[in-house]
Amino acid sequence: MTDARYQELLARLLDQELSAAEADELAATLRTNPQRAADIRQHLALWDLYSQDHAAERSAHAFELAWRTRLAAEADAADFVAQTTRQFANAPGAGAAQACSPAFRRSADIRRADRLKAGLPTWNWRSALALAASVVLLLGLGVWYFGPTIGEPVLVDVKGTGVSVERGTEFVAAIRGMRLLPGDVLRIGTNASVGLAFGAEQTRIDLESETELKLISFASGKRLQLRSGKLEAAVARQRLFRPMIVTTPNAQARVLGTQFTLKATTSRTELRVDEGKVRLTDTRNGEAEPVPAGYYAVVAAATKLAALPQTGSIFREYWTNLPGKRYDTDLTIHPAFPDHPNEREWLNRLETPNGWGDDYGARWRGFLHPPGSGDYRMSLAASDDAGLYLSPDDQPENKVKVLMSRINTVPQDYWQSESPLGLFGLKAGHRYHIEVIHKAGKGPDHLSVTWKRPDGKIEIIPGEYLSPFKPKPKEANREKR
């Protein structure tokens, strides 16, 4: 296990976000790495001290995972750990204080009362160890949560020309190895790119062409201002109270450790998260949304701030060796439809290549993510037969058939039409369930769904504005015919 992965799992453990599989992964490395075992033993002991005063805030599930990890890190406490784990596991959803068995609590109370009657101190060797450990571990807490952020930004990659650094009233040509200072403004010209690294911290930020980034400060956590353009970042675990903060003209992203992409213009911010979690705030109204891995969110006018599944593809299933040309009779009434397709795939736009095959049926399912609010005119072209279904929201059960396939209509006439046919009012920041059912016979075959956007652009709907439908577990595990 790499150091970066270990730090990620340790952070998830302390944040109560560790899954059972991740707990097993962490335990496996602790058994073979004494240094990491000692490190996590300190963090877990401190976690125990904190939880004694905040028991109600910690779930039984979180306690169970913590003790499972401790079992690997501290073998001599195996009996106590096993007992505690069983107690917490048998009380799902309860706090730590409620999870302990009544008999265990009564026996502890009796022992304490006996010692008081005899004039003996009520604390035992466990209490002494906890007290001694608390001093050391509180120092560790200060280092972990309040210590200085490691690393200052250095240019590690400068590609192309037209990359400059504005420093006060001067403009300096950017070169590899250049150390950046608070207040510097990086400007990346056309056909250029820049990479920033932060020493041994294993944090890297890549800036694309036509991007402007200001480095505000580093003393109390990294503070950056993305004025325009695009950055991609892989951020190592930051201190809890010293996160990386990236502002744009209308939003703020709070980062503790993750991989993400941020795009900004004067009126729109788009965040995509690949690992970890980023908190995105609309600075115009204070609304905030946690965006987890595999999701994206947009801050813009007339756009609802929400975490949505990342776009890029649409889900397609197909059934082969099906004669006929009508989807509503030759495909949908076939015994293999809809539960037993021959194959599944994910494609990067809503189109089947010409000449894909003969005598087959197909179903496309996914979600449509309009890039802006307004009226979209859609066109469905297919041979031999197809239907387009659209929901007013993201619920498949609300879908209605809105278009049948067009084969002989002249495209230019269709796009200029004032007919309501194929015209839909859609909102940015929302997603809409979309489905296409297609039946092809023999001979040339094709299918495509094209739209005319509010800005006038006409295109086959690309994966950039689509996300795939995810089959339910029982549906995804069905055997292929």
Same domain flag for 225 and 111:
no
357 and 219 part of one domain:
no
249 upstream amide cis, omega within 30 of 0: no
**Under a CB-based contact definition with an 8 Å cutoff, are residues 389 and 402 in contact?**
yes
Calculate what percentage of the chain has a pLDDT beyond 90. Answer: 47
Q: Which amino acid is at 429?
A: G
Q: Which domain holds residue 90?
A: 3-146
Angle between helical axes of 78-89 and 60-73 (0-180°, round to 10) = 160
Predicted confidence at residue 193, as pLDDT, reads: 94
Q: Of 242, 272, 303, at which residue does a domain stop?
A: 303
**382 Cα distance to chain centroid:** 35
What are the angstrom distances between the C-alpha of 429 and each of 17, 290, 378, 388?
27, 15, 19, 22
d(CA 65, CA 217): 37
Q: What is the mean pLDDT of residues 288-316?
A: 91
- 270 pLDDT more than 70: yes
pLDDT surpasses 90 at 187:
yes
Q: Could you tell me which residue, 131 or 167, shows the higher pLDDT?
A: 167
Kindly tell me the number of DSSP H helices and DSSP E strands found in the chain: 10, 28
Residue 282: predicted pLDDT: 96
- 274 and 358 within one domain: no
Q: What is the pLDDT of residue 90?
A: 42
Rounded Cα–Cα distance for residues 50 and 248 (Å): 36
> Which of 125-134, 154-163, 378-387 is least confident?
125-134
Spatial separation of the C-alpha atoms in residues 348 and 444, rounded to whole Å: 22
Predicted local distance difference test score (pLDDT) of residue 278: 94
Question: What band does 17 get if pLDDT is binned at 50, 70 and 90?
Answer: low
More confident residue, 12 or 465: 465
Cis-peptide, bond into residue 384, ω within 30° of zero? yes
Strand pairing report for 432-440 and 385-390 = antiparallel
When pLDDT is cut at 50, 70 and 90, the band that residue 264 belongs to is: very high
pTM for this entry: 0.56
- One domain for residues 461 and 334: yes
Question: Residue 53: is its pLDDT beyond 70?
Answer: no
Beta-carbon count within 10 A of 70 CB: 25
pLDDT higher than threshold 80 for residue 368? yes
pLDDT in the model for residue 86: 40
CB-based contact 374:454 (threshold 8 Å) = yes
Residues 176, 127 within the same domain: no
Q: Tens digits of per-residue pLDDT, 189-239?
A: 998 999 999 887 889 999 999 999 999 998 778 999 999 999 999 998 887
Report pLDDT for 176: 92
Q: What is the dihedral of CA 10, 206, 243, 154, to 10 degrees?
A: 100
Q: In this predicted structure, what is the pLDDT of residue 47?
A: 52
Q: Residue 413 contacts by C-beta under 8 Å, 6 or more apart in sequence? A: none
- Residue 39's H or E segment, with its range, is helix 34-53
Average pLDDT over residues 27-38: 79
- How far is 165 from 150, CA to CA, in rounded Å? 23
Q: Which pLDDT belongs to residue 294?
A: 87
Last residue of a domain, one of 107, 128, 146: 146
Of 166-170, 324-328, 353-357, 412-416, the least confident: 412-416
**Per-residue DSSP letter, 380:** E
410 in any annotated domain: yes
Q: What was the pLDDT predicted at 374?
A: 94
pLDDT tens-digit map of 437-446 = 999 999 888 8
Q: Is the separation of the CB atoms in 138 and 46 below 8 Å?
A: yes
Mean pLDDT is lowest, of 103-107, 272-276, 352-356, for 103-107
Residue 213 lies in a domain: yes
408 pLDDT more than 90: no
Cβ 311 vs Cβ 368: under 8 Å = no
pLDDT tier, 456 (very low <50, low <70, confident <90, very high otherwise): very high
Looking at residue 426, its pLDDT comes to 95
Residue 355 confidence (pLDDT): 86
Mean pLDDT of 464-475: 75
Q: How many domains does the chain have?
A: 3
Do 167 and 296 reside in the same domain of the chain? yes
User: Does the pLDDT value for residue 14 go beyond 70?
Assistant: no
**Residues 220, 274 within the same domain:** yes
Q: Which helix (H) or strand (E) holds 360?
A: strand 360-368
Q: Which residues contact 418 (CB under 8 A, 6 or more apart)?
A: none
* Amino acid 46: pLDDT: 54
Q: Mean pLDDT lowest for which of 23-27, 328-332, 395-399, 437-441?
A: 23-27
Rounded to 5°, the CA angle 110-115-116 comes to 95
The reply to whether 227 and 92 lie within a common domain is no
In the numeric block, the tokens 């056309």 are attached to 190
Give the pLDDT mean for 137-155.
Answer: 57
pLDDT at 93 over 80: no
Judge if 129 and 163 occupy the same domain: no
Cross-strand bridge partners of residue 165: 172, 186
Task: Let me know if residue 30 belongs to a domain.
Answer: yes
Do both 372 and 434 map to the same domain? Answer: yes
Give the whole-angstrom CA distance, residue 301 versus residue 395: 25
Q: How many residues does the chain have?
A: 481
Note whether residue 308 is domain-resident: no
C-alpha 421/C-alpha 378 separation (Å) is 9
Q: What value does the mean pLDDT take over residues 353-379?
A: 92
Same domain, 350 and 410: yes
Please report the DSSP string for 101-145 in residue order.
Answer: -HHHHHHHHHHHHHHHHTT--S--HHHHHHHHHHHHHHHHHIIII
Q: How much is the average pLDDT of 182-190?
A: 95
* pLDDT tens for each residue of 160-172: 988 999 999 999 9
pLDDT score at 118? 52
Asked, for residue 309, whether it belongs to a domain, the answer is: no
The answer to whether residues 323 and 468 belong to one domain is yes
Better-scored residue on pLDDT, 40 or 374: 374
Position with higher pLDDT, 230 vs 243: 230
Identify the pLDDT of residue 84: 37
Q: Is the pLDDT of residue 95 over 60?
A: no
User: Is 481 within a domain?
Assistant: no
